[in-house]
Amino acid sequence: MGDHILTSHACELVQTENRAVHLLQYDEVGVANVQKDIGHLHDKIRAHSTKLDEQGFEETSEVSPEWITLFVGLKEAQLRNCRGLMLYQTSRLERIQEMCMVYGGSIPKEERQQLAPHEKDYEKQYGKLLRDYHAALFMPTDDGEAPPPEWDLGEHLEPPVPNKDLYIQVRACEDIGEIATSNSGTVTIKRGQKHCVDRSDVDLYIRTGKLTRPVGDAK
């Protein structure tokens, strides 16, 4: 079974979130599916490891290449699912933060209905931090001047500039399929294609020979 099948729920979850212009309803079913996939992979990895222990191998060199390939594939799929789920949750929390800043500490009721219970708690606590900060920043002066009635903490914030040193160009040595990464979004990797991605997202694939740095670009 290909890695892309073992991670299809996570990829779908991340893709839907990335394509959304507005805050969507929290996908409880999608999250539950990814959690089931993670648990299923965990059970397969444990059973695979137990079988190896029962065979009594003492040296890594005694393990067959087929076993190593299967084990690494299962671990990679489990890691991708975990990172996809984390990416989905983090993306939604960042949307909530932005909306709290725009709307003065609390998001509109219709948008709040899209949140999961734990997200509502987060929005409440984050909003309180913003309001407390605003109250401390715009405290009345000695002459009794009141703080500004409207505010936007994000008004003068500059968008973050990505560090280009963290991004590298890689070439695919084989078909990997669609993967959900923490910093480069969802990437579909096919043999022979080049991609510019965050170094931390592809270190494992470079070490296992699935991706390589083009000649003259490796450092």
pLDDT tens figures, 93-149: 999 998 888 887 888 888 899 999 999 999 999 989 888 887 777 665 555 555 554
Neighbours of 82 (CB within 10 A): 17
Query: Which of 35-44, 126-135, 149-158, 160-169 is the most confident on average?
Result: 35-44
Global confidence as pTM: 0.62
* Residue located via tokens 């450092």: 219
Helices (H) and strands (E) in the chain, counts: 7, 5
92 bridge partner residues: none
